[in-house]
Copies of this chain bind each other. A is one copy, B any other.
Amino acid sequence: MADSAALDPVDLEILRLLQNDARTTYRDLAAMVGIAPSTCLDRVARLRRTGVILGHELRVDPGRLGRPLQALLLVQVRPHRKELIGPFVERIREIPESRALFHLTGPDDYLVQVAVADMADLQRLVLEEFTSRREVARVETRLIFQQWECGPLLPPGTAPG
């Protein structure tokens, strides 16, 4: 785990294409960036080894899994001490409704993205898993009307497209 060499334009193009479709074969990828498939394999392996590529994720439609309603919960944890927030974070991550969890600056300590079946389910979740916890001082619930993906992540100064 030593190499943290700068990414060259070929690496960046590979990352851009793989972020478009992570299942692109090395053969196709190689053709698109203009190198040999074996070289392409080497490049991607190196990107994985050096931690630029963290992994491959499956995107699933929450609605099709019976969770059509999503919300963000802004949570104040008081007192905000290590002994309390460790178990809090662990518990939130275990909840089946949780999709993402952030520790933030600002008036709210945590933001939790949840996917639920309906309003009753959301109410149950907030009451049973959040406001009933000693260390949770306040929960603010904001429903998600719609969400969008954004373009591929690239280094600053890289012309998109």
List the interface of chain A (C-beta within 8 A of B): 4, 7, 15, 18-19, 21-23, 50-62, 64-67, 72, 89, 92-96, 98-106, 108, 111, 115-117, 121, 140, 142-151, 153-156, 158, 160
Contacts and interface: CB of A to CB of B under 8 A. Distances in A.
Q: Is the interface of A mostly helix, strand, loop or mixed?
A: mixed
Contact of A99 (B4, B150, B160): B150
A117 B150 CA distance: 18
Given A144-B103, A145-B103, A65 B93 contact: no
Contacts of A22: 22, 55-58
Contacts of A72: 102, 104, 111
B105 A145 contact: yes
Given A51-B64, A67-B153, A92-B150, 19 more contacts: A15-B60, A15-B65, A18-B58, A19-B58, A22-B55, A22-B56, A53-B59, A57-B58, A65-B154, A67-B156, A93-B149, A96-B160, A99-B153, A100-B150, A101-B150, A102-B146, A102-B147, A103-B144, A105-B142
A153 B60 contact: yes
Contact of A151 (B62, B93, B142, B160): B93
